[in-house]
Each structure stands twice: as C-alpha cells, then as structure tokens.
Structure 1
Amino acid sequence: MKKLMSLVAVMLFTVGVFAQKVLVSDPAHSRIQFSVIHLTINDITGNFDKANLTINTDNKNFANSKIMFEVDPASINTHVEARDNHLKSADFFDVATYPKMVFTSTSIKRLKKNYYEANGNLLMHGVTKPVKVTLIYRGSTVNQMNKKTTYGYQVYASLKRSDFEIGGKFPEAVISNMVRIKGDFELTEQ
C-alpha cells in the first residue's frame, strides 16, 4: 500500500511539474514605460531600458500562475540626459541606494478573455506596497528566427509616487503624483 501511495504521489507531482511553464522576457523586445503630467498640462514619458518579466504559468488555470517583474531604475530613459540624471538622484529614485524595483504577484483573477487582474507587492525606493496591475495576454506565435514559441503580454498600472516616497520635494503642480505604467513583453519558455 505504501508503494502504491508513493507511486501516486510521484505521478501527481510529475503531472504538476509538467503543467507548469516558466516564461522569461526577451530584453530586446520588452520594456516598461511610464507617463507623468508636467506642469498640469503635458505628458512626459520615459521608459526603463532594463526590465524583466517572469511568469510561472499554470497551463490549466492561468489564475494559479505567478508573475514577477524586475526593473533597473538606473536604466531610466526620458531622452533628456540631464532629466535622467536628476531622476536617478536622491531627489527621486536614488538608484545608488535602491538599485531595483520588484513586483511579485500574490493573486491573479481573470477579468475576461485574455485580461487578468494581478494583485501583488511592489518594492520601489525601499518601500513595499500592495498594487494592482492589469495583465493582457496578446497571444503567441512561433518566431521564425529561433523557432521558439513567443508569448506577448502587456501590463498596465497606475500608482502614486508619494506612496513610495519618490520626488517629495516636487508638488503636483510641477509633476503629477499619479504615474501611469505600461509594460510590453515578449516571452519564451525557459
């Protein structure tokens, strides 16, 4: 009986392992962008050139998957070098002290076909807060260059910079407190 139970346990574990897939982002085709309102009249946009998304997918039920993305704030790029250097300073991201931002999902809920709400914790600027992101599955295709299946995902979120103690010297009349985030990722199986 013990041998039968052990065999069943191994089979269940094996089935569970094969139902999981680890997808990792392709850095050349993945990016996180942000937008803030400057002087209450104009959107200023930028992106982080180094951002990784990993999804531990549950093939049977995506809501059981785990999402993690990591951003290097020193890779900030607004196409204005002086502004980028200021954003890297202690006035904003303080990249010397806080070299990464990390989001880890705690739950995923299906909203409608290919749209999901992921709740999780975001560590940014030394502060961890719960945030909610929208995740959109854009489909998959076989990349003709490497013959691997490539998956497309988008991530949307809004957050308050004040929640993470970023740019506290700059009032909303100069830089909006609300920051809009959009991430575009191509992923392949690890």
Structure 2
Amino acid sequence: MKKVFLVMALAVSSLVATAQNFTNDKAHSKLGFSVSHLTISDVEGQFNDFTVHLSSFENQNVLGSKFHVVAEINSINTGIEARDNHLKSADFFDAAKNPRLEFQSKSIKKVKGNNYKLVGDLTLHGVTKSVTLDLIYNGSVDNQGVITYGFTVKGKLNRNDFGVGAGFPTAVVGDEVTLVSNLEFATPKAK
C-alpha cells in the first residue's frame, strides 16, 4: 500500500512540475498601442506599469495556457505629458473611475506553426468585451542557465466599443487601435 501511495505522489508531483506559471520579465516586456491622429499619422504609446501572468504553460505547449494581463491606466506614456494627462481624463480612459485595464484569456487555437488565435475578455473603461488577438510563440532560449520564453501579441480593437474618447470624431482620433505586446517569461533551468 505504501508503494502505491508513493508512486501516486510522485506521479502527481511530476504533473505539477511540468505545468508552469510565470510572470512577465518587466525589463524585457512591452504593452504598446498606436492610433491614428488627424488621419495622417499614428501616435504610439505604452503602459509602463503592467503585469502578465502566464499559467498552465506545459512543455512549451501554448494550447491550454492562460494569459492574464493587468495594466495601470495612470502609467500610460505617449512621450508627451500633457497628452498623457488628457488620455487619463474623463475625455478618454477616465483613470479616476477606471484605474486599470484587464485581459483574461478564455481559449487559444493554433493557426499554423507558432501562430495562434488568443481569445479573451478585455475590460477597459468599465466595459468588458470579447476580443481575438494574434499570438506568436517566438520560442525559448537558454540564457546562462535561465530558460526564457518569448511571445508577441498583436491585434486591433475599436475604441468606441469601450466608450474611450467618445467625444472625439474619427477624423481627430482614429476608431481603430492597434495593440502590440512583446513578452518574455523566464525561469531557472531545471537541474
């Protein structure tokens, strides 16, 4: 009986060890966006304070993994302080009432090779909607005993779906917002 229990305990512990949970390496991750201005150029920005949790990532198998993103609206950075303050105001994100954006993945489907569709709920400006994003698994590398995994997430969303900048016409601020996020997750190599 003791042998059966020991074998079961070892089997369970090996399953737990293979499904890993990570938090993004903040020094090598970016959560960025761009939107057209006056229909003639794009303004780019990013959220400086954000966290991405990657869970159930097993043996570099992306399917079944979960992504959870939380970004602080007050960390928005377009390189111009006056514009950042305007974006934080009630005219756009209304950071006082809606201090963060959140994304929780629901499913990942393989497209081809290392390309996937990432579906999840995005909560922004107090509104939650399902969005579909492109997810690319860039692989892994052993960096002096630390295994690092890389992902790129891209997508487009309509700011009007979330009520962001509702008082500004498309000719001033484009409706379509392009998202680009580069993420690294690292873990010490198993001995």
RMSD: 2.1
The alpha carbon displacement at 1:189 in A equals 3.1
**Alignment check: 8 A CA contact 2:62 2:137 kept:** no
User: In structure 1, what is the equivalent of residue 27 of structure 2?
Assistant: 28
User: In structure 1, what is the equivalent of residue 66 of structure 2?
Assistant: 66
Letter of the structure 2 residue corresponding to residue 41 of structure 1: I
Letter of the structure 2 residue corresponding to residue 142 of structure 1: D
Matches within 5 A, 1:86-125: 86-125=86-125
User: In structure 1, what is the equivalent of residue 51 of structure 2?
Assistant: 52
TM-score (norm 1): 0.89
Q: Per-residue CA shift, 1:69-121, capped at 9, x if unaligned?
A: 12111111111111000001111111111111111110001111111111110
Matches within 5 A, 1:125-164: 125-144=125-144, 147-164=145-162
Q: Which moved more, 1:53-62 or 1:119-128?
A: 53-62
Letter of the structure 1 residue corresponding to residue 87 of structure 2: L
The alpha carbon displacement at 1:11 in A equals 5.4
CA distance in 1, matches of 2:166, 2:42: 19
Identity among equivalent positions (%) equals 43
CA distance in 2, matches of 1:123, 1:5: 47
SS in structure 2 at match of 1:169: coil
Residue 82 to residue 60, structure 1, CA distance change in 2 (3 Å): closer
The alpha carbon displacement at 1:157 in A equals 1.1
The alpha carbon displacement at 1:5 in A equals 8.6
Letter of the structure 2 residue corresponding to residue 35 of structure 1: S
The alpha carbon displacement at 1:143 in A equals 2.8
CA distance in 1, matches of 2:184, 2:103: 18
Residue 4 to residue 142, structure 1, CA distance change in 2 (3 Å): closer
Q: Which runs of 5 or more residues in structure 1 are unaligned?
A: none
SS in structure 2 at match of 1:166: coil
Residue 104 to residue 8, structure 1, CA distance change in 2 (3 Å): farther
**Alignment check: 8 A CA contact 1:65 1:108 kept:** yes
The alpha carbon displacement at 1:15 in A equals 3.8
Question: How many residues get paired?
Answer: 187
The alpha carbon displacement at 1:14 in A equals 3.0
Q: Per-residue CA shift, 1:138-169, capped at 9, x if unaligned?
A: 1222334xx41111111101001111110000
User: In structure 1, what is the equivalent of residue 77 of structure 2?
Assistant: 77
TM-score (norm 2): 0.89
CA distance in 2, matches of 1:150, 1:11: 27
The alpha carbon displacement at 1:9 in A equals 6.2
